[in-house]
Amino acid sequence: MRYVYLLQSIDWPDERYVGMTDDLKARLAAHNAGQSPHTSKFKPWRLVTYLAFTDPAKAQTFERYLKVGSGHAFARKRLW
């Protein structure tokens, strides 16, 4: 399975992050350990939503969608 996930900073609730992984628990732990330069300054993070995909290409397409304007709007309205 490939997971597309949405994180929200616990200390800075306006900070959000969208990512993709094969191992959701390990990836969340890595974000909270400061191992990602994009998320280290806003840790700790909480998992808000995740979606599981059997097709890695569809997961990648959906992740990219969530990172653009209309995808941001969709996520704010439906996923956060």
Mean pLDDT, each 10-residue run in order, the chain (80 residues): 98 96 98 96 97 98 95 88
Residue 57 burial by Cβ neighbours in a 10 Å radius (0-12, 13-18, 19+): exposed
Q: Note the pLDDT of residue 63.
A: 97
Q: Note the pLDDT of residue 72.
A: 87
Q: What domains are defined for the chain?
A: 2-78 (3.40.1440)
Q: Note the pLDDT of residue 79.
A: 85
45, 7 Cβ separation under 8 angstroms: yes
Q: Could you tell me how many helices (H) and strands (E) the chain has, helices first?
A: 3, 3
Q: Note the pLDDT of residue 80.
A: 76
Provide the token pair at 72. 């941001």
Q: Note the pLDDT of residue 8.
A: 97
